[in-house]
Every structure is written in structure tokens, then in C-alpha cells.
């Protein structure tokens, strides 16, 4: 069964009928993503190999957690179907709109509301999940510095070392930085639900002018983690960040943001190779 056949099969199980063949959508760099038309409207079917079920389950748990805050818009979950070779995650189709026409100020305010919604008293998440295709540990912790070291930076550094993307001297340099994390980030920031992978490609402008988020890698942590990612890989309109910052009291956060960006830079090094090493070392240099 092809990915398209799996998408159609799952849609039939969810809706009972499919009007047209599934249409492959652009942008599915990890999974195959299809639009399927049914008698009750359109749906999105995300298709993965059977051994990637945990990736989709983590995404579903994140979308569910964000939806529960009643703040930032996410697609409604339709279910998960598993066949012999594929697992398919169905979700609501959201009609895309023009980036320039979206209310990015409102999105910044909604994101601030999500971060202020609470929901947990500790750092971590109900389950481990994935950042891209990389395993992401979410062990519960009362210490944000310890969590960032043991569940974020150290696992990424170990992968970079074991894969040969970083040499011994470079690994030692990052390890020394990890041992001094309490100089850069607080031990007990306010606990916020994080999207976790909030680059511009995971924020979708919709036809009605609102913005929805996709593909989360959720955990509970420091809200500034999301802003750190928002500044990478294309960024967001300045008015969006300004609206978000208007709800925050912290001001001098440059080192804090750099630590959180280092996590994503290490992940990209592990996912895509040595082209990202320069960014890792440049960020580390700024913290020395």
C-alpha cells in the first residue's frame, strides 16, 4: 500500500467515504501529508511508516495540550489509524490565507496567553516526544537548569559526538557551557506550555486572518524557549514579538535566548550534518 492509498484507507475508516483521490501537499519534509475530500468536507491525513507511530502520537498529545488552553488555534484532531505498514493521523483541514493578511499581533497575544495559562507545576511533559525526528526527553523536574542540561542539551551533544559531527575539543567546549547553565537561565522560571518547535513554517496564516500552529514538540518550560525558536529560520513579524513581549516582565534575555537556540542548532546539526556546526560554535562563543 502506498502512502496515498494509506491516506485514503484511513479517511474511509474515519468518514465512511472519500470523494476524490488524496492530494499530496507540499511541506511534508518528515511525513507524507495529503488533503482528502469527504462528504463532510476536507481533512488532512499525515502518513508515516509504522515504526514512527510514537512521532505522530507525540504530535497529537501536543496539539491536544495546546487546544486545552483555549488560546492558540490548532487543527482539530480526527484520529489515528494503523495498518500493516503505515500509521495515519487525521486532522481538520484549515484553509490557508496570505501571510501578510494575518493578524500577527493577535497571534502574539494568544501565544502569551498560552504561556500564561499554566497547566502544570513542574518542567517536562506527560510523555517523551520528538523534535523533528530526534527523540526529545521530557522527564519531570523541579529544576529548570537541570532539565535543560539533562533533557535538552546533553542528549543532543551526545548524539553529535557519537555521530562524529563534533570532535573531542568541540564537545568539551559545549560540556563546559552546560556545567555553567545557571549563569544564563533561571532555575525556576514560570512554568509555561511550550509549542517547542515554533519556527515560521509551523505557524500557518489562515483565510480568516487568524494564525494556527502545527507540528508541536510540546513540553512545560520557560516561555522564552518559544521566542528563541521564533527568531530562527525566517522569523516572525516584529509586531508579533512586540505583542508577546508586552505581556512579559523580563528584559535582558539575550543569553537565555542563546541557550535555547543552541538546543535547536545542535538538533539541526544532528539531523542535517556539519553545515550547522558553525552556528553551534558561534552561539557557544557568545556565551563564553
Residues labelled catalytic: 197
Q: Which of these, 51, 188, 54, 27, lies nearest to 123 by C-alpha position?
A: 188
The string of DSSP letters for 58-76 reads: HHHHHHHHHHHHTSSB-PP
C-alpha cell belonging to residue 17:
467515504
Neighbours of 149 (CB within 10 A): 21
Of the candidates 196, 200, 213, the residue with the CA atom closest to the CA atom of residue 134: 196
Task: State how far the Cα of 19 lies from the Cα of 11, in Å rounded to an integer.
Answer: 10
Strand boundaries in 156-277, DSSP class E: 192-194, 203-205, 211-213, 219-221
Q: What is the DSSP letter of 152?
A: I
H-helix or E-strand spanning residue 124 = none
The H or E element that residue 269 is part of is helix 254-272
DSSP E strand boundaries for the chain? 23-24, 32-38, 41-49, 77-82, 86-92, 129-131, 134-136, 192-194, 203-205, 211-213, 219-221
Interior CA angle at 33 toward 30 and 38, to 5°?
165
Q: Are 251 and 218 contacting, i.e. CB atoms less than 8 angstroms apart?
A: no
Amino acid at each position: 500500500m502506498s502512502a496515498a492509498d494509506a491516506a485514503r484507507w484511513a479517511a474511509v475508516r474515519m468518514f465512511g467515504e472519500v470523494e476524490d483521490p488524496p492530494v499530496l501537499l507540499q511541506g511534508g519534509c518528515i511525513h507524507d501529508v495529503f488533503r482528502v475530500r469527504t462528504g463532510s468536507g476536507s481533512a488532512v491525513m499525515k502518513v508515516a511508516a509504522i515504526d514512527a507511530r510514537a512521532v505522530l502520537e507525540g504530535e497529537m498529545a501536543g496539539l491536544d495540550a495546546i487546544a486545552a488552553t483555549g488560546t492558540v488555534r490548532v487543527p482539530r484532531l480526527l484520529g489515528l489509524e494503523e495498518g500493516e505498514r503505515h500509521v495515519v493521523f487525521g486532522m481538520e483541514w484549515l484553509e490557508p490565507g496570505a501571510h501578510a493578511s494575518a493578524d500577527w499581533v493577535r497571534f502574539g497575544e494568544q501565544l502569551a496567553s498560552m504561556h500564561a495559562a499554566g497547566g502544570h507545576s513542574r518542567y517536562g511533559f506527560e510523555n517523551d516526544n520528538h523534535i523533528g525526528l530526534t527523540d526529545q526527553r521530557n522527564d519531570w523536574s523541579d529544576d529548570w537548569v537541570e532539565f535543560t542540561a539533562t533533557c535538552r542539551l546533553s542528549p543532543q551533544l551526545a548524539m553529535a559526538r557519537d555521530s562524529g559531527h563534533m570532535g573531542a575539543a568541540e564537545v568539551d567546549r559545549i560540556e563546559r557551557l552546560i556545567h555553567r547553565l545557571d549563569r544564563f537561565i533561571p532555575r525556576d522560571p514560570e512554568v509555561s506550555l511550550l509549542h517547542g518547535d515554533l519556527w515560521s513554517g509551523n505557524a500557518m496564516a489562515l483565510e480568516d486572518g487568524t494564525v494556527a500552529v502545527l507540528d508541536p514538540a510540546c513540553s512545560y518550560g520557560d516561555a522564552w524557549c518559544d521566542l528563541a525558536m521564533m527568531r530562527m529560520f525566517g522569523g516572525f513579524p516584529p509586531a508579533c514579538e512586540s505583542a508577546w513581549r508586552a505581556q512579559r516582565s523580563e528584559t535582558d534575555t539575550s543569553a537565555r535566548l542563546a541557550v535555547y537556540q543552541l538546543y535547536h542548532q545542535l538538533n539541526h546539526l544532528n539531523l542535517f550534518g556539519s553545515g550547522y556546526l558553525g552556528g553551534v560554535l558561534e552561539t557557544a562563543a557568545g556565551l563564553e
